[in-house]
Structure 1
Amino acid sequence: MTSSATLEPWGKLIEPTTLKIQRLLPGPLERVWAHLVESDLRRRWLAAGDMEMRVGSTFELVWRNDELTDPPGHRPDGFGEEERMGGRIIELDAPHRLVFTWGEEGSVCFELEAQGNEVLLTVIHHRLADRSGLLDVSSGWHAHLDVLVARLTGARAVPFWDAWLRLRDEYDRSLPA
Protein backbone atom coordinates (compact mmCIF):
# COMPACT_ATOMS: atom_id res chain seq x y z
CA MET A 1 0.00 0.00 0.00
CA THR A 2 1.25 3.48 -0.92
CA SER A 3 0.82 6.36 1.47
CA SER A 4 0.76 10.03 0.56
CA ALA A 5 3.92 10.43 2.66
CA THR A 6 5.84 7.99 0.42
CA LEU A 7 4.21 8.81 -2.93
CA GLU A 8 6.58 10.55 -5.33
CA PRO A 9 4.80 13.54 -6.92
CA TRP A 10 7.17 13.73 -9.89
CA GLY A 11 6.73 11.80 -13.10
CA LYS A 12 9.49 9.29 -13.84
CA LEU A 13 10.67 7.65 -17.02
CA ILE A 14 10.11 3.91 -16.65
CA GLU A 15 11.35 3.31 -20.20
CA PRO A 16 13.11 5.79 -22.53
CA THR A 17 9.80 6.99 -24.04
CA THR A 18 7.36 6.13 -21.21
CA LEU A 19 6.38 8.43 -18.35
CA LYS A 20 4.69 7.25 -15.14
CA ILE A 21 3.13 9.64 -12.64
CA GLN A 22 0.90 8.91 -9.64
CA ARG A 23 -1.42 10.70 -7.25
CA LEU A 24 -3.21 9.51 -4.12
CA LEU A 25 -6.73 10.95 -4.25
CA PRO A 26 -9.71 10.99 -1.92
CA GLY A 27 -12.14 8.23 -2.85
CA PRO A 28 -14.27 6.46 -3.42
CA LEU A 29 -13.03 4.73 -6.57
CA GLU A 30 -16.21 5.51 -8.54
CA ARG A 31 -15.80 9.24 -7.86
CA VAL A 32 -12.27 9.29 -9.27
CA TRP A 33 -13.35 7.14 -12.24
CA ALA A 34 -16.11 9.64 -13.03
CA HIS A 35 -13.47 12.41 -13.19
CA LEU A 36 -11.61 10.37 -15.80
CA VAL A 37 -14.49 9.41 -18.08
CA GLU A 38 -17.26 12.03 -17.73
CA SER A 39 -16.67 15.03 -19.97
CA ASP A 40 -18.19 17.63 -17.64
CA LEU A 41 -15.96 16.49 -14.74
CA ARG A 42 -12.82 15.83 -16.84
CA ARG A 43 -12.96 19.28 -18.46
CA ARG A 44 -12.50 20.85 -15.00
CA TRP A 45 -9.00 19.34 -14.66
CA LEU A 46 -7.89 18.09 -18.10
CA ALA A 47 -10.02 18.24 -21.25
CA ALA A 48 -13.65 17.92 -22.32
CA GLY A 49 -14.91 15.32 -24.75
CA ASP A 50 -17.60 12.67 -24.63
CA MET A 51 -16.36 9.09 -24.47
CA GLU A 52 -18.50 6.07 -25.26
CA MET A 53 -17.31 3.49 -22.75
CA ARG A 54 -16.61 0.78 -25.31
CA VAL A 55 -13.32 -0.60 -26.65
CA GLY A 56 -12.79 0.73 -30.15
CA SER A 57 -14.87 3.88 -29.72
CA THR A 58 -13.29 7.12 -30.87
CA PHE A 59 -13.47 10.50 -29.14
CA GLU A 60 -12.00 13.97 -29.22
CA LEU A 61 -10.39 15.72 -26.26
CA VAL A 62 -10.75 19.50 -26.14
CA TRP A 63 -8.36 21.44 -23.89
CA ARG A 64 -9.25 24.90 -22.63
CA ASN A 65 -6.49 25.28 -20.07
CA ASP A 66 -7.30 28.96 -19.48
CA GLU A 67 -10.53 27.75 -17.80
CA LEU A 68 -8.90 25.34 -15.33
CA THR A 69 -7.86 27.87 -12.71
CA ASP A 70 -8.72 31.46 -11.80
CA PRO A 71 -6.52 33.16 -12.68
CA PRO A 72 -5.14 30.91 -15.44
CA GLY A 73 -1.62 32.37 -15.37
CA HIS A 74 0.32 33.43 -18.46
CA ARG A 75 -0.27 31.14 -21.44
CA PRO A 76 3.06 30.33 -23.16
CA ASP A 77 3.68 31.15 -26.79
CA GLY A 78 2.61 28.39 -29.15
CA PHE A 79 -0.55 27.46 -27.24
CA GLY A 80 -4.01 28.57 -28.31
CA GLU A 81 -7.13 29.13 -26.26
CA GLU A 82 -8.24 25.67 -27.36
CA GLU A 83 -6.37 22.52 -28.40
CA ARG A 84 -7.95 19.33 -29.82
CA MET A 85 -6.80 15.76 -30.23
CA GLY A 86 -8.49 12.55 -31.28
CA GLY A 87 -8.20 9.20 -29.56
CA ARG A 88 -9.61 5.69 -29.47
CA ILE A 89 -10.29 3.49 -26.43
CA ILE A 90 -8.10 0.41 -26.63
CA GLU A 91 -8.65 -1.13 -23.16
CA LEU A 92 -11.44 -0.73 -20.65
CA ASP A 93 -12.00 -2.33 -17.25
CA ALA A 94 -14.32 0.08 -15.44
CA PRO A 95 -13.68 1.44 -12.85
CA HIS A 96 -10.08 0.27 -12.66
CA ARG A 97 -8.34 0.74 -16.00
CA LEU A 98 -8.73 2.87 -19.11
CA VAL A 99 -6.24 2.93 -22.00
CA PHE A 100 -6.62 5.09 -25.09
CA THR A 101 -4.55 6.31 -27.99
CA TRP A 102 -2.97 9.71 -27.68
CA GLY A 103 -3.07 11.30 -31.09
CA GLU A 104 -1.41 9.32 -33.86
CA GLU A 105 1.43 7.60 -32.00
CA GLY A 106 1.17 7.46 -28.24
CA SER A 107 -1.16 5.98 -25.67
CA VAL A 108 -2.21 6.77 -22.12
CA CYS A 109 -3.15 4.30 -19.41
CA PHE A 110 -5.10 5.28 -16.28
CA GLU A 111 -5.11 2.71 -13.47
CA LEU A 112 -7.11 3.13 -10.27
CA GLU A 113 -6.50 1.14 -7.10
CA ALA A 114 -8.60 1.58 -3.97
CA GLN A 115 -6.50 2.04 -0.84
CA GLY A 116 -8.82 2.39 2.11
CA ASN A 117 -10.66 5.71 1.74
CA GLU A 118 -8.21 6.83 -0.94
CA VAL A 119 -7.53 5.90 -4.55
CA LEU A 120 -4.11 5.53 -6.13
CA LEU A 121 -4.22 6.94 -9.67
CA THR A 122 -1.38 5.85 -11.94
CA VAL A 123 -0.97 7.52 -15.32
CA ILE A 124 1.39 5.89 -17.82
CA HIS A 125 2.03 7.78 -21.06
CA HIS A 126 3.67 5.61 -23.76
CA ARG A 127 5.68 6.55 -26.87
CA LEU A 128 6.80 10.10 -26.22
CA ALA A 129 8.51 10.84 -29.51
CA ASP A 130 11.08 13.51 -28.62
CA ARG A 131 12.53 15.63 -25.81
CA SER A 132 10.17 18.55 -26.36
CA GLY A 133 7.14 16.26 -26.29
CA LEU A 134 8.45 14.53 -23.18
CA LEU A 135 8.83 17.85 -21.37
CA ASP A 136 5.42 19.13 -22.51
CA VAL A 137 3.68 15.91 -21.47
CA SER A 138 5.54 15.53 -18.15
CA SER A 139 4.78 19.06 -17.04
CA GLY A 140 1.27 18.80 -18.48
CA TRP A 141 0.31 15.65 -16.60
CA HIS A 142 1.88 17.01 -13.41
CA ALA A 143 0.01 20.33 -13.64
CA HIS A 144 -3.29 18.73 -14.69
CA LEU A 145 -3.11 16.15 -11.90
CA ASP A 146 -2.41 18.92 -9.39
CA VAL A 147 -5.64 20.59 -10.59
CA LEU A 148 -7.47 17.26 -10.16
CA VAL A 149 -6.16 16.96 -6.60
CA ALA A 150 -7.38 20.49 -5.87
CA ARG A 151 -10.83 19.72 -7.35
CA LEU A 152 -11.22 16.51 -5.36
CA THR A 153 -9.97 17.99 -2.06
CA GLY A 154 -11.68 21.38 -2.33
CA ALA A 155 -8.34 23.21 -2.37
CA ARG A 156 -7.51 26.16 -4.60
CA ALA A 157 -5.31 25.23 -7.55
CA VAL A 158 -2.34 27.40 -8.45
CA PRO A 159 -2.59 29.21 -11.82
CA PHE A 160 -2.33 26.43 -14.39
CA TRP A 161 0.01 28.03 -16.92
CA ASP A 162 2.40 29.38 -14.29
CA ALA A 163 2.64 25.90 -12.77
CA TRP A 164 3.10 24.31 -16.21
CA LEU A 165 5.97 26.67 -17.11
CA ARG A 166 7.73 26.10 -13.77
CA LEU A 167 7.27 22.34 -14.00
CA ARG A 168 8.54 22.23 -17.60
CA ASP A 169 11.79 23.87 -16.47
CA GLU A 170 12.08 21.48 -13.53
CA TYR A 171 11.45 18.41 -15.71
CA ASP A 172 14.02 19.71 -18.21
CA ARG A 173 16.61 19.73 -15.41
CA SER A 174 15.61 16.42 -13.83
CA LEU A 175 14.77 14.06 -16.70
CA PRO A 176 17.67 12.45 -18.57
CA ALA A 177 18.52 14.03 -21.91
Structure 2
Amino acid sequence: MNDAATVNVRVSRRFTASAERVFDAWLTPRLLGQWMFGPAVREEKILRLDIDPRVGGTFSMLVERQGETIDHLGTYLEVDRPHRLVFTWGIRGLSNPDDSRVAIDIAPTEGGCELTLIHSLHPDWAEYAQRTELGWNTMLDALLRLFAAPEKT
Protein backbone atom coordinates (compact mmCIF):
# COMPACT_ATOMS: atom_id res chain seq x y z
CA MET A 1 0.00 0.00 0.00
CA ASN A 2 1.43 3.38 -1.03
CA ASP A 3 1.30 5.51 2.14
CA ALA A 4 1.33 8.80 0.18
CA ALA A 5 -1.93 8.00 -1.59
CA THR A 6 -3.85 6.45 1.32
CA VAL A 7 -7.07 7.81 2.76
CA ASN A 8 -6.91 7.97 6.55
CA VAL A 9 -9.92 7.65 8.84
CA ARG A 10 -9.20 8.74 12.43
CA VAL A 11 -11.34 8.14 15.51
CA SER A 12 -10.53 8.33 19.20
CA ARG A 13 -12.10 7.61 22.58
CA ARG A 14 -11.22 8.16 26.22
CA PHE A 15 -11.80 5.22 28.56
CA THR A 16 -11.92 4.96 32.34
CA ALA A 17 -10.44 1.46 31.96
CA SER A 18 -6.69 0.87 31.99
CA ALA A 19 -4.65 0.76 28.79
CA GLU A 20 -4.04 -2.95 29.41
CA ARG A 21 -7.76 -3.78 29.61
CA VAL A 22 -8.58 -1.76 26.50
CA PHE A 23 -5.68 -3.31 24.58
CA ASP A 24 -6.69 -6.84 25.59
CA ALA A 25 -10.26 -6.23 24.37
CA TRP A 26 -8.83 -6.17 20.82
CA LEU A 27 -7.21 -9.60 21.13
CA THR A 28 -9.59 -11.63 23.30
CA PRO A 29 -12.34 -13.40 21.33
CA ARG A 30 -14.78 -13.41 24.27
CA LEU A 31 -14.47 -9.62 24.52
CA LEU A 32 -14.48 -8.98 20.75
CA GLY A 33 -17.83 -10.73 20.63
CA GLN A 34 -19.20 -8.17 23.07
CA TRP A 35 -18.19 -4.95 21.31
CA MET A 36 -16.79 -5.42 17.81
CA PHE A 37 -19.21 -8.01 16.50
CA GLY A 38 -22.52 -9.55 17.44
CA PRO A 39 -25.96 -8.47 18.56
CA ALA A 40 -24.66 -5.89 21.07
CA VAL A 41 -23.30 -3.88 18.11
CA ARG A 42 -25.58 -4.66 15.15
CA GLU A 43 -27.98 -7.28 13.89
CA GLU A 44 -25.63 -10.15 13.23
CA LYS A 45 -24.65 -13.55 14.51
CA ILE A 46 -21.05 -14.44 15.35
CA LEU A 47 -20.07 -17.70 13.67
CA ARG A 48 -16.37 -17.78 14.58
CA LEU A 49 -13.66 -15.54 16.02
CA ASP A 50 -10.18 -17.01 15.36
CA ILE A 51 -7.28 -14.88 16.57
CA ASP A 52 -3.53 -15.52 16.67
CA PRO A 53 -2.41 -12.31 18.43
CA ARG A 54 1.29 -12.14 17.58
CA VAL A 55 3.30 -10.36 14.92
CA GLY A 56 2.67 -12.34 11.75
CA GLY A 57 -0.37 -14.02 13.29
CA THR A 58 -3.69 -13.79 11.52
CA PHE A 59 -7.33 -13.37 12.42
CA SER A 60 -10.60 -14.45 10.86
CA MET A 61 -13.81 -13.05 12.31
CA LEU A 62 -16.78 -14.71 10.65
CA VAL A 63 -20.28 -13.26 11.10
CA GLU A 64 -23.67 -13.66 9.49
CA ARG A 65 -25.42 -10.38 8.70
CA GLN A 66 -28.72 -10.10 6.80
CA GLY A 67 -28.34 -13.66 5.54
CA GLU A 68 -24.82 -13.02 4.23
CA THR A 69 -21.65 -14.61 5.63
CA ILE A 70 -18.86 -12.04 6.08
CA ASP A 71 -15.29 -13.02 6.99
CA HIS A 72 -13.19 -10.12 8.29
CA LEU A 73 -9.53 -11.10 8.06
CA GLY A 74 -6.07 -9.71 8.47
CA THR A 75 -2.54 -10.10 9.78
CA TYR A 76 -1.03 -8.54 12.90
CA LEU A 77 1.91 -6.30 11.97
CA GLU A 78 2.71 -4.82 15.41
CA VAL A 79 1.69 -6.04 18.85
CA ASP A 80 3.13 -3.87 21.62
CA ARG A 81 0.92 -4.38 24.68
CA PRO A 82 -0.60 -2.10 25.92
CA HIS A 83 0.52 0.75 23.66
CA ARG A 84 0.18 -0.14 19.99
CA LEU A 85 -1.58 -2.62 17.74
CA VAL A 86 -1.36 -2.60 13.93
CA PHE A 87 -3.05 -5.03 11.57
CA THR A 88 -4.26 -5.37 8.01
CA TRP A 89 -8.03 -5.49 7.48
CA GLY A 90 -10.13 -6.95 4.70
CA ILE A 91 -13.20 -8.96 3.84
CA ARG A 92 -12.71 -12.33 2.17
CA GLY A 93 -13.74 -12.18 -1.48
CA LEU A 94 -14.39 -8.43 -1.40
CA SER A 95 -11.21 -6.59 -0.45
CA ASN A 96 -7.50 -7.32 -0.20
CA PRO A 97 -6.34 -6.97 3.42
CA ASP A 98 -3.07 -5.45 2.16
CA ASP A 99 -5.11 -2.46 0.89
CA SER A 100 -6.25 -1.54 4.39
CA ARG A 101 -4.28 -1.04 7.60
CA VAL A 102 -5.53 -0.25 11.10
CA ALA A 103 -3.18 1.32 13.66
CA ILE A 104 -4.30 1.66 17.27
CA ASP A 105 -2.37 3.70 19.80
CA ILE A 106 -3.36 3.63 23.46
CA ALA A 107 -1.95 6.19 25.87
CA PRO A 108 -2.47 6.07 29.62
CA THR A 109 -4.30 9.07 31.08
CA GLU A 110 -5.27 10.14 34.56
CA GLY A 111 -8.01 7.68 35.42
CA GLY A 112 -7.81 5.53 32.28
CA CYS A 113 -6.51 5.80 28.74
CA GLU A 114 -7.08 7.34 25.35
CA LEU A 115 -7.32 5.22 22.22
CA THR A 116 -6.61 6.64 18.78
CA LEU A 117 -7.39 4.52 15.75
CA ILE A 118 -6.25 5.35 12.22
CA HIS A 119 -7.62 3.18 9.44
CA SER A 120 -5.59 3.74 6.26
CA LEU A 121 -7.46 2.81 3.09
CA HIS A 122 -6.16 2.27 -0.41
CA PRO A 123 -7.33 5.18 -2.65
CA ASP A 124 -9.66 2.75 -4.48
CA TRP A 125 -11.69 2.56 -1.25
CA ALA A 126 -11.87 6.33 -0.63
CA GLU A 127 -15.64 6.38 -1.14
CA TYR A 128 -15.94 4.11 1.92
CA ALA A 129 -14.12 6.49 4.29
CA GLN A 130 -17.27 7.95 5.85
CA ARG A 131 -18.83 4.50 6.23
CA THR A 132 -15.57 3.22 7.75
CA GLU A 133 -15.55 6.09 10.26
CA LEU A 134 -19.16 5.40 11.22
CA GLY A 135 -18.38 1.69 11.67
CA TRP A 136 -15.42 2.32 13.96
CA ASN A 137 -17.39 4.92 15.94
CA THR A 138 -20.19 2.40 16.45
CA MET A 139 -17.75 -0.26 17.63
CA LEU A 140 -15.80 2.06 19.93
CA ASP A 141 -19.06 3.27 21.48
CA ALA A 142 -19.88 -0.40 22.18
CA LEU A 143 -16.42 -0.81 23.73
CA LEU A 144 -17.11 2.19 25.96
CA ARG A 145 -20.37 0.56 27.08
CA LEU A 146 -18.56 -2.71 27.76
CA PHE A 147 -16.17 -1.02 30.16
CA ALA A 148 -19.00 0.97 31.76
CA ALA A 149 -20.74 -2.32 32.67
CA PRO A 150 -19.72 -4.26 35.79
CA GLU A 151 -16.89 -6.72 35.14
CA LYS A 152 -17.91 -10.33 34.59
CA THR A 153 -15.84 -12.92 36.38
For Structure 1 versus Structure 2, the TM-score category normalised by the shorter chain is: 0.7 to 0.9
Deviations 1:110-167 (A, max 9, x none): 1111102211011110025334421221110011111111111129xxxxxxxxxxxx
Instruction: Quickly say closer, same or farther: Cα 1:39–1:49, change in 2 above 3 A.
Output: same
- Residue 89 of structure 2 is matched in structure 1 by 102
- 1: CA distance between counterparts of 2:24 and 2:132? 22
- The answer for the alignment partner of 1:124 in structure 2 is 118
Task: Tell me the secondary structure at the aligned position of residue 62 of structure 1.
Answer: strand
Q: Say which is worse superposed, 134-143 or 56-65, in terms of deviation.
A: 56-65
The AA in structure 2 aligned to 1:113 is: A
Q: Partner residue of 1:138? A: 133
Distance 1:34 1:135, change over 3 A: same
Contact 2:6 2:120 in 1 (8 A): no
Structure 2 residue aligned with 1:160? none
- Give 5+ residue unaligned stretches, structure 1: 1-14, 66-78, 156-177
- After superposition, give the CA deviation of every residue in 1:37-66 in whole Å (9 maximum; x if it has no partner): 10110121113623222211111123467x
Supply the AA of the counterpart residue of 2:27. Answer: V
Match of 2:40 in 1: none
Equivalent-residue separation in structure 2 for 1:64 and 1:49 (angstroms): 12
Partner of 1:38: 28
3-state SS, counterpart of residue 50 of structure 2: coil
Amino acid at match of 1:41: L
**Retained in 1: the 8 A contact 2:7–2:126?**
no
**Aligned pairs, number:** 128
Deviations 1:1-47, CA, capped at 9 Å, x for gaps:
xxxxxxxxxxxxxx860011000011212211121110110121113
Identity of aligned residues (%): 28
2:89 corresponds to which letter in structure 1? W
Aligned mate of 1:19, from 9, 23, 32 = 9
Listed as ranges, the gaps of 5+ residues in structure 2 are 38-47, 91-95
Higher share in strand? 2
Question: What TM-score does the superposition give when structure 1 sets the normalisation length?
Answer: 0.64
2:105 to 108, 111, 116: 111
